[in-house]
Amino acid sequence: MAHTNADRAHRSIKFTTSDITLANRWDHLLARWGVKRNRHLVEPGLYALGNPTADSPVFVTANYTLSFDALRSALAGTEGYIMVLDTKGINVWCAAGKGTFGTNELVNRIEATALHNVITHRVLILPQLGASGVAAHEVLKRSGFRVEYGPVRAIDLPEYLKNHRATPEMRRVHFNLPNRLVLIPVELVHVLLPMAIAGALVFFVRGILASAGTVAAILAGVVLFPILLPRLPSPDLSVKGFILGGLVALPFALKILLGNPGSVWWIRAGWALIFLLAMPPVTAYLALNFTGSTPFTSRSGVRREIFAYTPIMAWMFGTSILLAIALILIRGWGGA
């Protein structure tokens, strides 16, 4: 019976290589730009990389193509197994936070693949960024497999495998400019249509300057924010967004305030204030989108920010709309 179970387990193993093809790279490009976001999936299960034996290491990853491809390409020349969990096409870090890269899925996948019939050892190597979703003691208790957390980056795995020890550098999460730049395309794609609609509506109501301000506030939130993230003061992403939005709004406010000295001063001041009230909360709201893709925050921090700053965003933006309506009813643009 044991022999039959082992044969059955081996027949269910899929095969992969460390080669990244042009089709893979095209898939990565589409994923980065948010095209067909829910279709960049790898079938969950157990994959053989190279010609592994019963003593070969087992690596665990998510069924997001970028996660899977990063792991297998980093393991070029390594014989081993890759266990792909069903994370619904979400990367390891985000899936760990959502619970799909978690204890239950890992234990269930061990059982579904009959892993105990494939390998003789009982060690699984998980990415460090998946640790928040997996309780190692529960996995050991329920499956008999010991969890070993590897380095943050898959590219460090060959060095890690020499003695199964991670150096401090391997444990350090980097979030440098290239890491931040790759976040921009998908965020930009998500706001292009709303930005175009909002810009057009504002243009017909209040003209080119107001429309440009709308576009600038949105682009600041999805393009400038990730670029300048470490340079903006405050640990809170919302506050960083308010500051950036205020800086972007300032030239528009000054243009209104100083651009037409012949108009009534309080009309110009009112419209300048509208820019200062409306633009920062837009940028700050969009900045909150990066809470799930930056090591600058945590789940509890995100929750605190949402409850603390979303009402402020709403009040500022709502006040700007009421002020704009009031000025229009009183005197309109007033030549400002």
Q: Which amino acid is at 187?
A: E
**Coil vs helix vs strand at 22:** helix
Confidence check: pLDDT of 284 > 60: yes
Task: Determine, yes or no, domain membership for 70.
Answer: yes
Whether residue 148 is found in the same domain as residue 22: yes
Helix (H, G, I), strand (E, B) or coil at 14: strand
Sign for the CA dihedral angle at 78, 79, 85, 86 comes to positive
DSSP state of 334: T
117 and 196 co-located in one domain:
no
Report if residue 6 sits inside a domain: yes
Residues 121, 254, single domain; the answer is no
Q: Are residues 278 and 237 in the same domain?
A: yes
Cα(322)–Cα(1) distance, rounded to whole angstroms? 76
How many structural domains compose the chain?
Answer: 2
In the listed set 156, 173, 190, which residue is the last one of a domain according to the structure?
A: 173
Tell whether 183 and 251 lie within a shared domain. Answer: yes
User: Lowest-confidence range among 46-50, 216-220, 236-240?
Assistant: 236-240
On whether residue 336 sits in a domain, the answer given is no
pLDDT digit string (tens) for 84-132? 999 999 999 888 888 899 999 999 999 999 999 999 999 999 999 999 8
Q: Do 29 and 99 fall within a single domain?
A: yes
Give 208-229 pLDDT, tens digit per residue.
999 999 999 999 999 999 999 9
Comparison of pLDDT for 289 and 135, the residue scoring more:
135
d(CA 157, CA 169): 12
Supply the pLDDT for residue 299. Answer: 65
Residue 29 lies in a domain: yes
Statement to judge: residues 233 and 155 lie in one domain: no
Residue 315 has pLDDT above 80, yes or no: yes
Q: How far apart are CA 268 and CA 159, in angstroms?
A: 63
Q: Are 202 and 296 members of one domain?
A: yes
Contacts of 6 (CB under 8 A, 6+ apart): 114, 117, 118
Report whether 240 contacts 300 (CB < 8 A).
no
- For residues 137 and 185, state if they share a domain: no
Q: In the prediction, which pLDDT does 319 show?
A: 96
| pLDDT (mean) for 5-11 | 58
Judge whether 257 lies within some domain: yes
Query: Which residues lie closer than 8 Å to 317 by C-beta, 6 or more apart?
Result: 277, 278, 281, 282
Alpha helices, H only, the chain: 2-11, 22-32, 65-74, 92-98, 103-112, 136-143, 157-160, 168-171, 177-181, 184-206, 208-219, 225-228, 237-259, 265-287, 299-330
26 and 131 both lie in a single domain:
yes
Question: Does one domain contain both 124 and 210?
Answer: no
Task: Tell me which residue range forms the domain holding 188.
Answer: 179-330
Nearest one of 94, 89, 155, 150 to 297, comparing CA atoms? 94
The whole-model pTM stands at 0.81
Residue where a domain terminates, one of 173, 206, 241: 173
Confirm whether 95 is domain-assigned: yes
Pairing assessment for the beta strands 80-85 and 146-149 based on DSSP bridges: unpaired
Q: Strand pairing partners for 16?
A: 49
pLDDT of residue 34: 86
Residue 335 forms part of a structural domain: no
Residues 290, 254: contact at Cβ < 8 Å?
A: no
Which of 155, 173, 191 terminates a domain? The answer is 173
Quick one: 240 and 128 in the same domain?
no
Whichever domain contains 167, its CATH number is 3.40.50.11600
Please give the average per-residue pLDDT across 148-158, as a whole number. 95
Span 79-87, average pLDDT: 96
**Residue 134 predicted with pLDDT over 50:** yes
Query: Does some domain include residue 110?
Result: yes
pLDDT of residue 180: 87
In the predicted model, is pLDDT for residue 137 greater than 60?
A: yes
Rounded Cα distance, 171 and 151, in Å? 6
